């Protein structure tokens, strides 16, 4: 089978590196174009870990050049920078998997929580790339809005219980992320001295992922659940642990419900003991554990923020868009110990 040529824009960042690591060995994709804002170096100069492994030239990002070299492009750019580029690529008939938040939300919510949208036309056709809820649509899509890392872990944990939830009870989500979730640009909170042997909440009840989680739960359930979301920064490089506290209408068998819901899903694993971040680090798995006391449910999920939360999920989406096996080239062996 002929390989499909793909581009990575934003190759200098953390998710750009993870995309390269997955795509270098992918059975059906060929990296033909990689770019940063300025270009002019080799991939191994951007990321010394690629020395002797992947020496491709990094170019200055240019949409018309992408269209000459690739059928599909991964955008690993910050919000706002991504939509300008995506618009150009889509007009040139290049399929796009956008890792940023630019196409994830309905217009009104996006403009309330981010900025004015510069590509309202394509926003209408974007498909939210969480395969467990949108697999059929992803297969037909030209533009994928790859989900945020916190929303991926949160939605996957809550989804099996949505139809049993008490409609007037708020959903509480306590989330913790490794520092790579903030991207490679150093910030005061990500400084070694601030984060080492420390833990703290940030943007409690006003993080931009709260509306993303609420919107997707509403679209699946038809009910506007109140979502209360509090993220924390963990003193680790990668990994994400999300715990949700739920109330059901009736007493259900939570574990049986969870198992039945995900029985055919390759990248969701149901754990018998509370989940941990090391068992999913380096993989596309979302591990989920559930415990209950009558109608009160504790559901906890773990993902690698850079992989299931970004780059590996992006490649799963590209696999589906191109008619390949969903799991082709997707990492499944965790970085343990
Ligand atoms: N890190 C994570 O865990 C997750 C990240 N995401 C999303 O994926 C996208 C990429 O994230 P990540 O790789 O972590 O980010 P990084 O900050 O590590 O990398 C982003 C890259 O984009 C390039 N860039 C291009 N235009 C701009 C600009 N205007 N301002 C700043 N940088 C620019 C920069 O490289 P250069 O200037 O060299 O071109 C930079 O290396 C983001 O939208 C992020 O929100 C989503 C889920 C999880
Ligand atoms: C630890 C940390 O800072 N995490 C980021 C979210 C991760 C991410 O990149 O999500 P988006 O794709 O929506 O930007 C944050 O809280 O903003």
Q: Is 149 in the pocket of ligand 1 (CB under 6 A)?
A: yes
Region of 10 please: left (phi>0), alpha (psi -120 to 50) or beta: left
Q: Is 183 in the pocket of ligand 1 (CB under 6 A)?
A: yes
Report mean pLDDT in 10-residue bins for the chain, 337 residues: 94 98 97 97 97 97 97 97 97 98 98 97 98 98 98 98 97 98 93 95 96 98 98 97 98 98 98 98 98 98 98 98 98 96
- ω before 337 within 30° of 0 (cis)? yes
Q: Strand order in 296-303's β-sheet?
A: 200-201, 227-233, 171-177, 240-247, 296-303, 286-293, 268-270
Q: Is 178 in the pocket of ligand 1 (CB under 6 A)?
A: no
pLDDT of residue 20: 98
Domain edges within the chain: 4-125, 150-305
Query: Residue 159 gets which letter from DSSP?
Result: G
Distance 74 CA to ligand 1 centre (A): 12
Our mutation pick for probing the ligand 2 site, out of 10, 16, 149, counting the most ligand atoms within 8 A of Cβ, is 149
Distance 309 CA to ligand 2 centre (A): 10
| Catalytic annotation present for 115 | no
Q: Give the position, in ligand 1's atom list, of the atom nearest the Cα of 181.
A: 3
Our mutation pick for probing the ligand 2 site, out of 76, 208, 231, counting the most ligand atoms within 8 A of Cβ, is 231
Instruction: Tell me if 36 sits within 8 A of 61, measured CB to CB.
Output: yes
Distance 269 CA to ligand 2 centre (A): 24
Find the radius of gyration of the CA atoms of the chain: 19
pLDDT of residue 1: 74
H or E element, residue 19? helix 14-24
C-alpha to C-alpha distance for 62 and 203, rounded to whole angstroms = 35
Q: Could you tell me which CATH class the domain 150-305 is placed in?
A: alpha beta
pLDDT of residue 2: 85
Q: Which residue has the tokens 């409690």?
A: 204
Question: How many CA atoms lie within 13 Å of 250's alpha carbon, on the beta-carbon side?
Answer: 5
Residue nearest to atom 7 of ligand 1 (CA): 100
Instruction: Tell me if 172 sits within 8 A of 228, measured CB to CB.
Output: yes
What is the distance, to the nearest Å, from the Cα of residue 308 to the centroid of all Cα atoms in its chain? Answer: 6
Distance 10 CA to ligand 1 centre (A): 6
Q: Give the position, in ligand 2's atom list, of the atom nearest the Cα of 100.
A: 12
Sign of CA dihedral 264, 292, 152, 177: negative
Q: Which fold has domain 4-125?
A: Rossmann fold (3.40.50)
Nearest to 98 by CA among 69, 116, 119: 119
């Amino acid at each position: 089978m002929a390989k499909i040529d793909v581009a990575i824009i934003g190759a200098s960042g953390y998710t750009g590196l993870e995309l390269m690591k997955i795509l270098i060995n992918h059975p059906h994709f060929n990296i033909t174009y990689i770019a940063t804002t300025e270009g002019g170096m080799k991939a191994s100069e951007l990321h010394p870990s690629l020395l002797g492994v992947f020496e491709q030239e990094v170019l200055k990002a240019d949409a018309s050049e992408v269209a000459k070299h690739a059928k599909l492009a991964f955008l690993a750019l910050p919000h706002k920078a991504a939509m300008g580029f995506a618009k150009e690529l889509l007009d040139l008939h290049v399929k796009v998997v956008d890792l940023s938040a630019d196409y994830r939300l309905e217009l009104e919510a996006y403009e309330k929580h981010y900025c004015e949208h510069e590509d309202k036309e394509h926003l209408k056709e974007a498909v939210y790339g969480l395969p467990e809820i949108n697999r059929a649509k992803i297969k037909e899509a030209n533009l994928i809005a790859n989900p945020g890392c916190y929303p991926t872990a949160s939605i996957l944990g809550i989804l099996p219980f949505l139809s049993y939830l008490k409609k007037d009870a708020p959903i509480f989500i306590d989330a913790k992320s490794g520092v790579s979730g903030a991207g490679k640009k150093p910030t005061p909170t990500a400084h070694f001295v601030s984060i080492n042997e420390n833990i703290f909440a940030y943007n409690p009840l006003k993080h931009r992922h709260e509306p993303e989680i609420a919107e997707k739960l509403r679209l699946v359930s038809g009910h506007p659940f109140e979502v209360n979301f509090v993220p924390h920064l963990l003193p680790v490089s990668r990994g994400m642990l999300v715990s949700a506290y739920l109330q059901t209408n009736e007493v259900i068998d939570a574990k049986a419900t969870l198992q039945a819901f995900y029985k055919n899903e390759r990248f969701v694993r149901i754990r018998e003991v509370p989940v941990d971040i090391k068992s999913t680090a380096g993989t596309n798995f979302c591990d989920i554990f559930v415990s209950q006391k009558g109608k009160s449910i504790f559901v906890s999920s773990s993902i690698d923020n850079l992989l299931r939360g970004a780059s590996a999920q992006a490649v799963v989406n590209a696999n589906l868009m191109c008619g390949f096996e969903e799991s082709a080239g997707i990492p499944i062996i965790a970085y343990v110990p």
